[in-house]
């Protein structure tokens, strides 16, 4: 059963969402969500949740990842090589609405890092001899500002002691002792909605109900402080 269109050369095209929805219908797989147009939702977060039960959902996730890497990097990067044999990306100061720097040709800020395929793509970027590629970012800048404005004693002490703020909060609120607790807390900003519908994307397998419970626990702990 195909989940994508066949192109003239026989290759399987990107599995379009309506087509995947039809396949799920044939297999009696309920996603429980629909798009604004009334079609069955097969977005990434929906597939991540389904992948806990159905192998086909994980296969579609993997296929989409490979297709994105192919189109965005494997086929696009060779076209960006300049006369000197190297790629010179652009940093833009006035494009992103947030005021942050953005990157184009190629987008160096969006290269996958969590998957093996993404890491392979990253390894293809090699600096000129005698030079280095530097990756820099502010460390929890927004949360540091929040701690200063609110004068939150727990957050302030965590930053002063050099602790991981997410792991610290996870330990206080949920009794978490591993990296998963920190992952949950880092996703609180996505959970903060009546339905917590982004929870599975941030923390696969957590489910919306559990995410809602965690969110309530988070705010109970903050009010207690």
Q: What is the mean pLDDT of the chain?
A: 75
**Residue 222 φ then ψ, to 5°:** -70, -40
Q: Using an 8 Å Cβ cutoff, are 204 and 49 in contact?
A: yes
Q: How many CB atoms lie within 10 A of CB 165?
A: 20
Mean pLDDT of 41-61: 87
Q: Using an 8 Å Cβ cutoff, are 34 and 46 in contact?
A: no
Report the pLDDT value the prediction gives residue 81, as an integer from 0 to 100: 92
Mean pLDDT of 182-204: 50
Decide: residue 204, CB within 10 A, 0-12 exposed, 13-18 middle, 19+ buried: middle
Report the pLDDT value the prediction gives residue 184, as an integer from 0 to 100: 54
CA distance 55 to 27: 12
Please give the structure tokens belonging to residue 106.
Answer: 């190629």
Report the pLDDT value the prediction gives residue 181, as an integer from 0 to 100: 52
Which residue, 206, 199, 152, is CA-closest to 176?
A: 206
- Minimum mean pLDDT among 67-76, 125-134, 158-167, 190-199: which range? 190-199
Report the pLDDT value the prediction gives residue 3, as an integer from 0 to 100: 45
205 pLDDT tier (thresholds 50, 70, 90): low
CATH architecture of 17-74: Up-down Bundle (1.20)
- Minimum mean pLDDT among 15-19, 144-148, 197-201: which range? 197-201
- Minimum mean pLDDT among 118-122, 143-147, 175-179: which range? 175-179
Report the pLDDT value the prediction gives residue 207, as an integer from 0 to 100: 58
Report the pLDDT value the prediction gives residue 209, as an integer from 0 to 100: 67
Write down the domain spans for the chain: 17-74, 81-122, 141-224
**Model pLDDT for residues 103-137, shown as the tens digit of each residue:** 898 888 877 777 888 888 888 888 888 999 887 77
Question: Of 32-36, 176-180, 189-193, 214-218, which has the strongest mean pLDDT?
Answer: 32-36
Please give the structure tokens belonging to residue 215.
Answer: 């969110």
Report the pLDDT value the prediction gives residue 15, as an integer from 0 to 100: 55
Decide: residue 150, CB within 10 A, 0-12 exposed, 13-18 middle, 19+ buried: exposed
**Model pLDDT for residues 14-30, shown as the tens digit of each residue:** 555 567 878 887 888 87
């Amino acid at each position: 059963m195909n989940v994508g269109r066949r192109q003239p050369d026989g290759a399987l095209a990107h599995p379009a969402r309506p087509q995947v929805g039809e396949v799920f219908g044939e297999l009696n797989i309920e996603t429980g969500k629909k798009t604004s147009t009334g079609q069955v939702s097969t977005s990434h977060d929906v597939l991540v949740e389904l992948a806990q039960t159905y192998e086909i959902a994980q296969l579609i996730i993997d296929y989409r990842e490979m297709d994105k890497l192919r189109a965005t990097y494997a086929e696009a990067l060779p076209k960006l090589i300049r006369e000197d044999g190297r790629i010179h990306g652009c940093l833009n100061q006035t494009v992103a609405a947030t005021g942050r720097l953005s990157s184009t040709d190629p987008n160096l800020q969006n290269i996958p890092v969590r998957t093996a395929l993404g890491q392979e793509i990253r390894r293809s970027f090699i600096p000129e001899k005698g030079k280095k590629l530097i990756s820099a970012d502010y460390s929890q800048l927004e949360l540091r500002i929040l701690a200063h404005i609110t004068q939150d004693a727990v957050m302030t002490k965590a930053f002063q002691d050099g602790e991981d703020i997410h792991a610290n909060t996870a330990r206080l609120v949920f009794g978490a002792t591993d990296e998963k607790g920190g992952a949950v807390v880092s996703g609180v900003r996505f959970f903060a909605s009546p339905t917590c519908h982004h929870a599975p994307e941030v923390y696969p397998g957590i489910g919306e109900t559990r995410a809602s419970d965690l969110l309530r626990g988070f705010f109970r702990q903050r009010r207690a402080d």
